[in-house]
Amino acid sequence: MADPIILHPDTEFIRDVTRGGGADMKKCFQCATCSSTCGLSTENRPFPRKQIVEAQWGMTDRLIGDPAIWLCHNCGDCTTRCPRGAHPAETLSAIRCAVIRRLAFPRFMGGVFAIPESAVAMLAFSAILLLSIALLPAPSPGSSPLVFAQMFPKTRLEPFFFAVSGWVVLALTVGAVRFAGALRRGGAEGPILSNLVPALMEIVSHRRFAECGAQQGRRWGHLLVFSAFVGLAAMGTTVGIGSMLGLMDTPIPFLNPLKLFANLCALVLVTGAAVLVWNRLKDRQARAGAVFSDWFLLILIGGAGLTGLLSEALRLTQLRAAMFFIYYTHLTLVLTLFLGAPYSKFVHFLYRTMAMAATRQESSSSGWPITRRRQSPATS
């Protein structure tokens, strides 16, 4: 028989979950309606009932290494069905936030997006950082037409962003190593690396979203944001490296295929973010249950896309008054997104992928232990 679990509730964890959107988790009385609703629940793994009781009891170790919380696509069906208003979906979001916080490197950065105060501080930090780059005495050739490089010389900005990227990659790597260790301790045995490709294919397909009953619109919103993000990331890296190596010169002409593609991605990104925002606003329950950090990330992403497009438009129209300010805003949002990536909901791209890779089952037809399709509450 396995050793007993000694229960020492982690009150910090409980507080994080409570503040991060799980304020109603204590209402759960373990009826398991959520588990009978959720397709992720199997006979031996009553999801998310078990995760809720573990969160109630502050069982941090078990939750950190639990891949199931990442397999959840936050469809919200459990919250719709919960007879006690315990909001399991929102609690799971909060659990994920609290887990992200505990996997964070360095740890003190973990809670940066959990509450508005530190999130705003992070924004301000990014703004000041960028401002200091802009204000450093620089050879600013008064060229015409106006280009952003007059404010942020490429010779500073590009190395700066590469340094930041390096830092972010380091932080993500440490988080990933920690998470992999936790998954192993938690009993998930799938070979993460060799399963990465099928896991990514599954993610790209967005099939899981299709099974969400309560919030169908999220699938398209997420798909748009996700695709655009991948496109922009690839584009940004290419252009950044190209520019650094002197192979490309920015700004790239508007009709350059790369530029056209980047603009298309930005439009898609803004549209996707708008769809996600609209979904939340139109659905009273989703609106009420949404957590600050979720909103903040959405605003960062949408805002970065919007200000990016706007900056380009202003540059093309040479509106001097607004152009530098909007670009500055754009860079601030992008930098915050970058710096915050290992600590915000954003990092789910990493942990979810790892969790899916670690739980992939060759035997299951879907590749993952999804037992059955849920009925949409609207049709039951």
Positions touching another protein (CB under 8 A) are 1-9, 11, 14-15, 18, 26-27, 29-30, 50, 53-54, 56-57, 59, 84
Minimum CB separation of residue 188 from another protein in Å reads 17
Q: How far is the CB of 49 from another protein (least distance, A)?
A: 8
Question: Rounded to the nearest whole angstrom, what is the least distance from the CB of residue 56 to another protein in the complex?
Answer: 7
Nearest alpha-carbon partner for 52 in 101, 107, 8, 94: 94
Question: Toward another protein, which CB reaches closer, 14 or 326?
Answer: 14
How far apart are alpha carbons 250 and 150 in whole angstroms?
12
Rg, Å, the chain Cα set: 22
- For another protein, the closer of residues 9 and 159 by Cβ is 9
Q: Where are the alpha helices (DSSP H) in 245-347?
A: 257-282, 284-289, 292-317, 320-340
**Please, what is the minimum distance in Å from the beta carbon of residue 96 to another protein?**
19
Angle at 213 between CA 267 and CA 368, to 5 degrees: 90
Smallest gap from residue 366 Cβ to another protein (A): 25
Give 9 or 116: the residue with its C-beta nearer to another protein: 9
Task: Judge residue 207's burial from the number of C-beta atoms within 10 Å of its C-beta, 0-12 exposed, 13-18 middle, 19 or more buried.
Answer: middle
The helix-helix angle for 292-317 and 320-340 (nearest 10°) equals: 150
Residue closer to another protein (CB basis): 59 or 214 = 59
Q: Give the single-character DSSP code of 46.
A: -
Minimum Å gap between C-beta 61 and another protein is: 12
Contact by Cβ (8 Å): 364, 193: no
Cα–Cα distance for residue pair 367/363, rounded to 1 Å: 7
CB of 28 or CB of 212, closer to another protein: 28
- The torsion defined by the Cα of 289, 294, 295 and 300, in degrees rounded to 10, comes to -170
Residue 108 gets which letter from DSSP? G
Half-sphere exposure of residue 129, counting CA atoms within 13 Å on the CB side?
19
Looking at beta carbons only, is 56 or 332 nearer to another protein? 56
Q: Sign (positive/negative) of CA torsion 16, 19, 21, 22?
A: positive
Q: Give φ, ψ of 25 to 5 degrees.
A: -60, -25
Least distance CB 43 / another protein (angstroms):
11
Distance CA 47, CA 112 (A): 28
Q: Which residue number, 1 or 255, has a Cβ lying nearer to another protein?
A: 1
Min separation Cβ 48 and another protein, Å? 13
Q: By C-beta, is 59 or 75 nearer to another protein? A: 59
User: Can you tell me the distance from the alpha carbon of 16 to that of 135, in angstroms, rounded to the nearest whole number?
Assistant: 39
Specify the residue, 15 or 184, whose C-beta has the smaller distance to another protein.
15
Q: Closer to another protein at the Cβ: 5 or 210? A: 5
Centre a 10 Å sphere on the Cβ of residue 227 and count the other Cβ atoms it contains.
16
Per DSSP, the residues of 210-245 read HT-SS-THHHHHHHHHHHHHHHHHHHHHHHHHHHHT
Distance of closest approach, residue 85 Cβ to another protein, in angstroms: 9
Q: Minimum distance between the CB of residue 224 and another protein, rounded to whole angstroms? A: 38
